[in-house]
Amino acid sequence: MEINSFACSEEERGGLEGMFRNIRHSSNFLCNHDFSKDMGKCRVDAYALIILNNCLPWFTPVLWKEAKLRICADGGANRIYDDLPNLLSHEDLAKVREVYKPDVIKGDMDSIRPDVKEFYAGLGTNILDESHDQDTTDLHKCVAFIKDSTAYLHDRNLKILVVGALGGRLDHELANINVLYTFSSMQIILLNDENLAFLLEKNCHHEIIINPVTEGPHCGLIPVGGPSKSTTTTGLKWNLDNSIMQFGGLISTCNMCNSEIVTVYSDADLLWTISIQKYSNQISKVQKT
């Protein structure tokens, strides 16, 4: 059956492992570009989009168009207002700002500019001031909103894509990774121009489908939440075989995908990260196929 927001199935296996979940992951949202017809048919799973107050990836307009729900976390609205038109420089500025209107702006409102707030309020954006809550980050607030939203209640397979979540200030980046653990039952993918990252739940068999046109080959498996006493992988250049991983010891960074299917099993939650191909590289790879 389908569970979480990636295509997943649950199977019963014998031996020492008994019952476990077999989870398949696919970053198919990355293949939804204008040239996707050259890449074959690509079914894109439903997702909500969160914009943080950081540099927007070049593929933000594509993600925006296909999102079921679009939320700006506080100053993320400034990024949509100021920076998104630069990614669509061939289009009329005023039209871009009207068309790319967030459904919701939520946060403690310490970063959004007054003119931006007024502009989107005039377009009908739902602005939710959570300035009374200084114990959670703006990303946490937005994910909590999605969890309670009609879109998520109707589709528990809804992914959450968070752009601007990687890079920039390290404390912000670590706070964003912490949200993955706080909402571990939801499938949240952190993105910037060069990388994506998501959580692999412990005691599950994970099958990660790699599209070499859009992602890889550089990747990593990181025991952020605590040590792993046993991690086993296939499909990597340097595979792990019942390996112990922990900070202060071995962690699997600077690894590479050796296959279009990577499998991971671990007794601890792991952060999976993989590089995203630049647009020029994607076009080049498509033209060669």
Q: Which carries the bigger pLDDT value, residue 30 or residue 111?
A: 111
Work out the number of other CB atoms within 10 angstroms of the CB of residue 116: 20
Strands 69-73 and 47-51: parallel
Q: Which carries the bigger pLDDT value, residue 281 or residue 244?
A: 244
Q: Residue 149: its pLDDT value, please? A: 84
The answer to whether 255 and 217 have CB atoms below 8 angstroms apart is: no
Calculate the average pLDDT of the chain: 86
The answer to whether 117 and 77 have CB atoms below 8 angstroms apart is: yes
| Of 25-29, 73-77, 94-98, 204-208, the least confident | 25-29
Residue 11 predicted with pLDDT over 80: no
Residue 14 predicted with pLDDT over 90: no
Q: What is the mean pLDDT of residues 184-203?
A: 95
The answer to whether 117 and 106 have CB atoms below 8 angstroms apart is: no
CA 192 from centre of chain: 9
Confidence of residue 40 (pLDDT cuts 50, 70, 90): very low
The pTM assigned to this predicted structure is 0.86
pLDDT digits (tens, 9 = 90+) for 128-174: 999 998 999 999 999 999 998 877 777 778 899 999 999 989 999 99
Q: Tokens 């409102």 label which residue?
A: 109
Residue 9 predicted with pLDDT over 60: no
Q: How far apart are CA 139 and CA 162, in angstroms?
A: 8
Residue 6 predicted with pLDDT over 50: no
Residue 18 predicted with pLDDT over 80: no
- The DSSP 8-state label assigned to residue 24 in this structure reads E
User: What are φ and ψ of residue 288, in 5° steps?
Assistant: -85, -15
- The DSSP 8-state label assigned to residue 35 in this structure reads T
Q: How far apart are CA 13 and CA 90, in angstroms?
A: 54
pLDDT digits (tens, 9 = 90+) for 57-96: 999 999 999 899 999 999 999 999 999 999 999 999 999 9
Q: What is the mean pLDDT of residues 207-225?
A: 95
Map residue 175 onto helix, strand or coil.
helix
Cis ω for the linkage preceding 217 (within 30 of 0): yes
Q: Residue 156: its pLDDT value, please? A: 74
Q: Residue 256: its pLDDT value, please? A: 97
